[in-house]
């Protein structure tokens, strides 16, 4: 057998071993970074047989892997991996397409066109919007806000792509107090100085307050304006009052961007329509395929309603590229050569179908509710957010107990839930975002919380 065939056969075995082992292995890693690096390390030395290299990688990296694709992983907002998306992701590497140009891969561009069209349809976004396949929601925020920066400055006669920001008319950015940190990073990359943003306070669920947004806007001098809203708060899962906020900002001539890294997918579900009502009237939207849609990393999506603004802000124009009148995929993203991300998104959507996407999102919500109900029954335990989507925030008797429960849970290995701070209190934070998670995974995880809590209380009573 040649090397490639031996490698691929071995990888299939290794992958199957990992995937079938997910149900029984601890969710946490058993080695830390230094320990894994020591095993993988040493002098580079001579080359080795590729199959041996992969065996070495699996043996060395394995104990340092966190079982993020496990049905009992509820940390951050991670998502799982749909089998079809996983397969397509492997093929993407096998095919090694450069997705930047139509000429370098008609297939990659076609998959992105089709998957992008399905996504716009599922989420009710403008059918002629520009869709860019980027690494994640942070870069999707960046891409959308670059288009926003272009558009609001072009309206006052300033060409920011040519002349930069020095000497430009002032551009006001308004954000909610509970925006994701990556919005600030995107603003930083764009020279928009997140320290200069006008910040609108949030309510007790983390939603931007509409009355205070109105006050901020009333107070501004007319001029270029960009407002960032959020669909899905990383702690509470709450959605900003999208429709009314979008309409208000538009009355002031501003551009509205929505960070919907995991929450945008709520727009696919009629049952969740009250969360996303009016979302479609915004000007740009950032989301991830690697969270709620369960496509492998790295897969973010930037959508800009005014495709011309996206093309103006992004894209590369050089004589050697072989470009025709149809926009190249690189026209909508801040990358040149890149992975053909559309195949995995196409496959994920294709395998679920329209109804499957809706059911996936709704199941996450149902399981989050199940968590909330069961945890609220534990003595001295409170669910501190309204569980409107996929996120559950839990506080124990006091901050110290909460932190100790989370610490022990992460070591115990049944489930993975991350610590956070909400409204000034330590919380245990649960995110349901994996197709693999079942009711029994939720019940087993609640049992683990119950056990750990009893241990913590036993330990503190014992002194």
Ligand X SMILES: *Cc1c(COP(=O)(O)O)cnc(C)c1O
The residue ranges that bind ligand X (CB under 6 A) are 77, 136-138, 180, 182, 232, 234, 259, 261-262, 288, 300
For residue 281, the minimal CB distance to ligand X (Å) is 20
For residue 147, the minimal CB distance to ligand X (Å) is 17
For residue 344, the minimal CB distance to ligand X (Å) is 14
For residue 48, the minimal CB distance to ligand X (Å) is 34
For residue 186, the minimal CB distance to ligand X (Å) is 9
Cβ neighbours around 244 below 10 Å, total? 14
Output 105 or 141, the one with its CB closest to ligand X: 141
Cβ-proximal residue to ligand X, closest one: 136
For residue 200, the minimal CB distance to ligand X (Å) is 16
Output 152 or 183, the one with its CB closest to ligand X: 183
For residue 315, the minimal CB distance to ligand X (Å) is 21
For residues 346 and 167, the answer to whether their CB atoms sit within 8 Å is: no
Output 133 or 396, the one with its CB closest to ligand X: 133
For residue 232, the minimal CB distance to ligand X (Å) is 6
Output 129 or 136, the one with its CB closest to ligand X: 136
Tokens in use for 408?
A: 């022990």
Q: How far is CA 244 from CA 148, 207, 378, 394, in A?
A: 20, 13, 38, 30
Output 90 or 297, the one with its CB closest to ligand X: 297
Output 396 or 435, the one with its CB closest to ligand X: 435
Output 134 or 381, the one with its CB closest to ligand X: 134
For residue 296, the minimal CB distance to ligand X (Å) is 12
Output 62 or 79, the one with its CB closest to ligand X: 79
Instruction: Give the chain as a 3 state SS string.
Output: CCHHHHHHHHHHHHHHHHHHHCCCCCCCCCCCHHHHHHHHCCCCCCCCCHHHHHHHHHHHHHHHCCCCCCCCECCCCCCCCCHHHHHHHHHHHHHCCCCCCCCCCHHHHHHHHHHHHHHHHHHCCCCCCEEEEECCHHHHHHHHHHHHHHHHHHCCCCCHHHHCCCCCCCCEEEEECCCCHHHHHHHHHCCCCHHHCEEECECCCCCECHHHHHHHHHHCCCCCEEEEEEECCCCCCCECCHHHHHHHHHHCCCEEEEECCCHHHHHHCHHHHHHHCCHHHCCEEEEECCCCCCCCCCCEEEEECCHHHHHHHCCCCCHHHCCCCCCCHHHHCCCCCCCCCHHHHHHHHHHHHHHHHHHHHHHHHHHHHHHHHHHHCCCCCEECCCCCCCEEEEECCCHHHHHHHHHHHHHHCCCECEEEEECCEEEEEEECCCCCCCHHHHHHHHHHHHHHHHHHHHHHHCC
Rounded distance between C-alpha atoms, residue 304 and residue 168, angstroms: 23
Output 134 or 160, the one with its CB closest to ligand X: 134
Tokens in use for 79?
A: 């998502």
Output 125 or 139, the one with its CB closest to ligand X: 139
Output 286 or 330, the one with its CB closest to ligand X: 286
For residue 18, the minimal CB distance to ligand X (Å) is 23
For residue 47, the minimal CB distance to ligand X (Å) is 35
Instruction: Give 417-431 as a 3 state SS string.
Output: CEEEEECCEEEEEEE
């Amino acid at each position: 057998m040649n090397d490639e065939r031996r490698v691929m056969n071995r990888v299939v075995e290794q992958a199957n071993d990992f995937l079938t082992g997910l149900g029984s292995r601890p969710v946490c890693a058993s080695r830390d970074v230094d320990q894994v690096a020591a095993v993988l390390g040493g002098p580079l030395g001579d080359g080795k047989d590729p199959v041996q290299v992969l065996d070495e990688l699996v043996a060395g990296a394995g104990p340092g892997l966190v079982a993020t694709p496990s049905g009992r992983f509820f940390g951050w907002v991670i998502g799982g991996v749909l089998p079809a998306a996983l397969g397509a992701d492997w093929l993407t590497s096998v095919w090694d397409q450069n997705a930047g140009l139509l000429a370098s891969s008609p297939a990659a561009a076609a998959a992105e066109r089709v998957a992008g069209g399905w996504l716009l349809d599922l989420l009710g976004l403008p059918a002629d919007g520009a869709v860019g396949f980027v690494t994640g929601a942070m870069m999707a925020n960046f891409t959308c806000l670059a288009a926003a920066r272009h558009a609001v400055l072009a309206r006052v006669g300033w060409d920011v792509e040519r002349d930069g920001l020095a000497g430009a008319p002032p551009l006001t950015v308004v954000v909610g107090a509970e925006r994701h940190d990556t919005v600030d990073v995107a603003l930083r990359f764009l020279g928009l100085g997140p320290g200069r943003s006008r910040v609108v306070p949030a309510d007790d669920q983390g939603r931007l307050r509409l009355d205070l947004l109105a006050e901020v806007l009333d107070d501004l001098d007319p001029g270029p304006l960009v407002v960032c809203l959020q669909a899905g708060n990383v702690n509470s899962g709450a959605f900003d009052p999208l429709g009314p906020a979008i309409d208000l900002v538009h009355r002031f001539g501003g551009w509205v961007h929505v960070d919907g890294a995991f929450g945008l997918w709520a727009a696919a579900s009629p049952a969740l329509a009250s969360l996303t009502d009016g979302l479609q009237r915004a000007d740009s939207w950032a989301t991830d395929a690697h969270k709620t849609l369960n496509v492998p990393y790295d897969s973010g999506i930037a959508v800009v309603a005014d495709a011309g603004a996206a093309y103006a802000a992004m894209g590369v124009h050089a004589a050697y590229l072989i470009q025709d009148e149809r926009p190249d995929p690189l026209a909508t993203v801040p990358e040149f050569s890149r992975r053909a991300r559309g195949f995995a998104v196409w496959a994920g959507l294709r395998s679920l179908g329209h109804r499957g996407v809706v059911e996936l999102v709704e199941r996450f919500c149902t399981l989050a509710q199940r968590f909330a109900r069961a945890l609220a029954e534990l003595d001295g335990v409170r669910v501190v957010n309204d569980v409107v989507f996929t996120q559950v925030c839990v506080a124990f008797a006091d901050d110290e107990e909460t932190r100790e429960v989370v610490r022990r849970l992460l070591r115990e290995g049944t489930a993975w839930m991350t610590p956070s701070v909400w409204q000034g209190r330590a919380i245990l934070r649960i995110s349901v975002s994996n197709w693999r998670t079942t009711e029994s995974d939720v019940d087993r995880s609640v049992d683990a919380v119950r056990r750990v809590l009893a241990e913590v209380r036993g330990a503190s009573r014992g002194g």
